[in-house]
Structure 1
Amino acid sequence: METVVNTVNVSLDAWREEQKAWNDRSDFFVELHERDDRKAQVVYFLNYLEKKGLLPKEGAATLDIGCGVGDYALGLAKKGYEAHGIDLSDGMIKGGQELAKREGTALKLFVGPWSEETRQSLEWNRKFDLTYSFFCPVMFDKANVAAMSQTSKDKCLLVVFADRHDTIVEALTQHFYGTQDTFDWQSQVDGCISVAHQVGKDVNVDYITTPEEEAFDMEAAIEYFMLRLYSEEWGTKEAMKAAMKDALQPYVKEDGKVHNVTEDKVAWISWTVK
């Protein structure tokens, strides 16, 4: 079995900076794939599909928009589905290719930004039995949700943050930038739900809130929070890493690890296409 990688025939000129940012994070997501909590998320996803009647018959075609290194696509491929994934980051796609080879399965992967232009370029019109997307930033764009629905001939699942609280991220944002995140997550979710009702039927929305405490070695913590927070507006990465080590000290507990408390509210929005 061999994973096939294709590049979408659309311009990437406006996406180069964002593509590089995700490429810089791809190694972290390859490592994340092996963590027990990540594996548990994939199991939850598969169980959710089955529970909600979203899981197509074995051998059917599925599409993951913003697939990253392909965690969820790999989960479906192992169950006998023809799993496709698309992501802006060629680094993420390369990671997905490596993981598929390591796990003895195959994916069909595409490099490109998600949009209606991309959908038309690939001629993905009612092609997939299930199209889904997890935490893909561009999916708060209503046109991209509509384009997502056009790819499916049956079911769609969109998973997005409805609210986020992260003790260390919030503190470090204040520390480095003097600001707090005021992004209105729920209004963006409401926009997605509105589109789902326009393009689909049997719309279902489940909100799942997950409190969690994470523990990092200091070096791993620095790398992780750099991924979450670094901006060229701040200065060099090296300078921020040095400053971040000092800023993380208050979160080191008796075990010598940096402890972070998070609570994410996640919206699982599903529908059947009209």
Structure 2
Amino acid sequence: MQEGKDWRDQYFGRDYYQYLAKHLTPERTKREVDFLESVLSLKRGSLILDLGCGFGRHTLELGKRGYRTIGIDRSSELIEIAKENAKKEKVFNVEFYVMEYKDIDKLDYKFDIVFSLYTSFGLSTYEEDKETLNKVYQVLKRDGRFLIDIENRDALLKYFIPYSWDLFGEDYVLLTEHFFEPDTGFYISNRIVIDLKNNIRKEFVRRIYLYSPSEIIHLFKESGFHVDRLMGDYEGRKFHIGSRRLIILAIKK
């Protein structure tokens, strides 16, 4: 990674979409949106914000189901892909914007639902995450709900795997080396994708702060949220120390 450049600008882009999003299948997206519909009790006419929408897979699936949804992401390349897919799939009740999460108050909307899936928090700084939570509280209607999904720090460290590899079809191999910095709380993944068919090698570096459950819950409460429910997976099962995910449902009171 080049010195002085934000790692997110290099990680999240067209190469991410082409090489690292292979496992994010339409079937998986549908199951995850089924979960959102159930847990958030989504209603037609609700205005929904997908915070950190990436290339828009959840935004588009919600749009296909009749929900008016806005997706924001800081990656202009991923938002461009999301818009291309919306046009290609003829989904017209969605909007996409390039935006820092902490700037969502500039949208000039009040939302019934905000959700953020797959660890959009912990990618920058504690101060920026705190500011983002305050802005989410600000843009939600009263009794609006915010659902956030992050990696479960305790399980990730308990079952720490320093190296892993995955094979996607016959063409792509993903090699990953993981590090944890105990002094900073950051979890670093160095990822190498090898395109066997075209003899291409791509390198990606991902750096996230791992929030403990108590830390992230404290942030929510500081921002004024009532924490309603903790879940450990996309089946809605109760969170426990060994859960793979930490999914928080909070309400603006």
State TM-score, norm by structure 2: 0.65
Q: Which has the higher contact order (CA 8 A, sep 6+)?
A: 1
Partner of 1:88: 74
Partner of 2:169: none
* Aligned amino acid, residue 192 of structure 1: I
Q: Return closer, same or farther for 1:43/1:166 CA change in 2, 3 Å cut-off.
A: farther
Matched, 1:129 2:112: yes
User: d(CA) in 1 for partners of 2:27 and 2:37?
Assistant: 15
3-state SS of the aligned residue for 1:203? Answer: strand
Matched, 1:98 2:87: no
State TM-score, norm by structure 1: 0.60
Partner of 1:69: 55
Partner of 2:45: 59
Kept in 1: contact 2:130–2:219 (CA 8 A): yes
Matched, 1:201 2:226: yes
* Aligned amino acid, residue 75 of structure 1: E
Matches within 5 A, 1:1-274: 17-18=6-7, 20-23=9-12, 25-29=13-17, 37-52=24-39, 54-106=40-92, 107-115=94-102, 118-124=103-109, 127-134=110-117, 135-136=119-120, 137-138=123-124, 141-153=129-141, 154-163=144-153, 164=156, 165-168=160-163, 173=177, 180-182=180-182, 183=185, 187-198=211-222, 199-201=224-226, 203-208=228-233, 265-274=244-253
Q: Cα offset for 1:57?
A: 1.2
Structure 1, residues 103-148: CA drift from partner, whole Å, max 9, x if none? 1103211112111xx1333334xx1111011221248622212222
Kept in 2: contact 1:20–1:89 (CA 8 A): yes
**Count of residues paired in the alignment:** 197
User: d(CA) in 1 for partners of 2:131 and 2:61?
Assistant: 28
Percent of residue pairs bearing the same amino acid type? 21
Q: Return closer, same or farther for 1:189/1:85 CA change in 2, 3 Å cut-off.
A: farther
Kept in 2: contact 1:209–1:265 (CA 8 A): no
3-state SS of the aligned residue for 1:74? Answer: helix
Q: Return closer, same or farther for 1:21/1:207 CA change in 2, 3 Å cut-off.
A: same
Q: Return closer, same or farther for 1:19/1:264 CA change in 2, 3 Å cut-off.
A: same
Q: Cα offset for 1:168?
A: 2.7
Partner of 1:222: none
* Aligned amino acid, residue 245 of structure 2: V
Kept in 1: contact 2:220–2:227 (CA 8 A): no
* Aligned amino acid, residue 85 of structure 1: G
Task: Structure 1 unaligned segments of length 5 or more: list them.
Answer: 1-14, 211-262
Q: Cα offset for 1:60?
A: 1.8
Partner of 1:250: none
Structure 1, residues 2-34: CA drift from partner, whole Å, max 9, x if none? xxxxxxxxxxxxx973453145x334326766x
User: d(CA) in 2 for partners of 1:46 and 1:209?
Assistant: 9
3-state SS of the aligned residue for 1:104? Answer: coil
User: d(CA) in 2 for partners of 1:27 and 1:98?
Assistant: 16
3-state SS of the aligned residue for 2:42? Answer: coil
User: d(CA) in 2 for partners of 1:105 and 1:272?
Assistant: 29
Q: Cα offset for 1:58?
A: 1.2
Task: From the two aligned structures, give the one with the greater strand fraction.
Answer: 2
Q: Return closer, same or farther for 1:90/1:201 CA change in 2, 3 Å cut-off.
A: same
Q: Cα offset for 1:94?
A: 0.4
User: d(CA) in 1 for partners of 2:23 and 2:81?
Assistant: 18
Partner of 2:204: none
User: d(CA) in 1 for partners of 2:32 and 2:211?
Assistant: 24
* Aligned amino acid, residue 130 of structure 1: I
Task: Structure 2 unaligned segments of length 5 or more: list them.
Answer: 166-174, 187-208, 236-241
Q: Cα offset for 1:157?
A: 0.5
Larger Rg: 1
Q: Cα offset for 1:152?
A: 1.6
Kept in 2: contact 1:65–1:131 (CA 8 A): yes
